[in-house]
Amino acid sequence: MRRLVIAAAAAVIALPAAAQQKIDFILNWVPGGDHAPYYYAKKLGWYQKEGIELNLEPGKGSALATQKVGAGANPVGLADMAGVLVAKGKGADSVAVFNVYANSPQGMYWLKSSGIKGIKDFPGKKIGNPAADGARVMWPALAKANGIDPKSVTWVNIDANAKLAALKARTIDVTTSFYNLHHVFKKELGDDMGFLAWRDVGLNPYGNSVIVNAEYLKKNRPTVAKFVKVTQRAFAECVTQPKPCVQALIDANGALNFDNELVNWQLVEVLMSDKISQTVALGWHDDKRMQDDYNLVKDYVGVDKPFDVKSTYTNEFLDKSIKMKAVRAD
């Protein structure tokens, strides 16, 4: 009898684990401050409580994350929204369910001592970044918006961790990076740092968004709803209490430096904050902005097969009571 009771108790304890639905979430890049909320919610068991076993998979660029989610290799991922629109035109079917970067995080860096003063000096220069970097996808739009031939530069494949070294060694002339790593470039390059934020030169499409494979969404809508619910709550909580949030990231990725990732996260807050995220909901994709982004991609990059942009995002899982606070960029 005692054995039966123990066996029954063990079965009850095992039920929650058995009920968990695994989600392999591919990030846009290796873990950093901008990914802290996912690790925070996972550490506190928020995803698990909703029946989700979340596996956070390091990425190698937005383009790769977009391809893998669009093809169904990963059900969920994090990728630059403009690149998602380009991929949609090529047949990669994914739906954005939560916007992280309401402002474009894209930036370009160079050495002032090279003689480069701004984007008009880029023609004839070498731009180094990873082959799957989202900046390459949208470069034609940035170039054309500033009266430059997109083919006037040479792209050089380098690892993300080699950007600064290559720039300082002058094996490349320009590199790209997200704004949340601005402090790293400033520390390394000092007064010789040249910088251009895409959002300041006529190109501010939505940046990183959480995307879901369209077929997966269709078959697992309740699970996606729970995932978004937890993620939105985690981002809001990390804005209010950034230190424990960043600590969760460090706990899961021991090689990272707490102070560095805290600054990273503070810069992410700047990218998250705009009128829509402050007044409608954190994570919201605005219809007009999305249509403008589609037109931008269509006109400057090209869309192989036209589509209704509303098929690429949904706000249905967002809690409108959760809003972003205003953040001042220093």
Question: Residues 60-111: pLDDT tens digits?
Answer: 989 999 999 999 999 999 999 999 999 999 999 999 999 999 999 999 999 9
Nearest of 103, 100, 98 to residue 319 by alpha carbon: 98
- Sketch out the chain's domains with CATH numbers: 2-102+206-312 (3.40.190.10), 106-200 (3.40.190.10)
Mean per-residue pLDDT, 118-130:
96
CA pair distance 329, 327, nearest whole angstrom:
7
- In sequence order, what are the residues at sequence separation of 6 or more whose Cβ sits closer than 8 angstroms to the Cβ of residue 300? 140, 141, 144, 145
CA pair distance 130, 163, nearest whole angstrom:
9
Report residue 142 as tokens: 């940035």
208 contacts 105 by C-beta, under 8 angstroms: yes
Mark 10-32 as b/e (b = at least 16 C-beta within 10 Å).
Answer: eeeeeeeeeeebebebbbbbebb
Query: Between 204 and 171, where is the model more confident?
Result: 171
Question: In which element (H, E) is residue 22 found?
Answer: strand 21-26
- In sequence order, what are the residues at sequence separation of 6 or more whose Cβ sits closer than 8 angstroms to the Cβ of residue 30? 58, 59, 160
Report residue 8 as tokens: 């029954």
Q: Is 25 helix (H, G, I), strand (E, B) or coil?
A: strand
DSSP state of 313: B
Compute how many other C-beta atoms are within 10 angstroms of the C-beta atom of residue 174: 23
Per the document, the length of the chain is: 330
H helices of the chain, where? 2-18, 36-43, 46-49, 62-71, 81-89, 134-145, 163-168, 182-189, 214-219, 221-240, 242-252, 258-272, 275-279, 287-296
- pLDDT number for residue 69: 98
Average pLDDT, the chain: 92
Report residue 39 as tokens: 């690790």
- pLDDT number for residue 137: 83
CA pair distance 171, 185, nearest whole angstrom:
17
pLDDT exceeds 70 at position 46: yes
257 contacts 184 by C-beta, under 8 angstroms: no
pLDDT digits (tens, 9 = 90+) for 16-29: 444 899 999 999 99
- pLDDT number for residue 138: 85
- In sequence order, what are the residues at sequence separation of 6 or more whose Cβ sits closer than 8 angstroms to the Cβ of residue 35? 27, 56, 78, 249
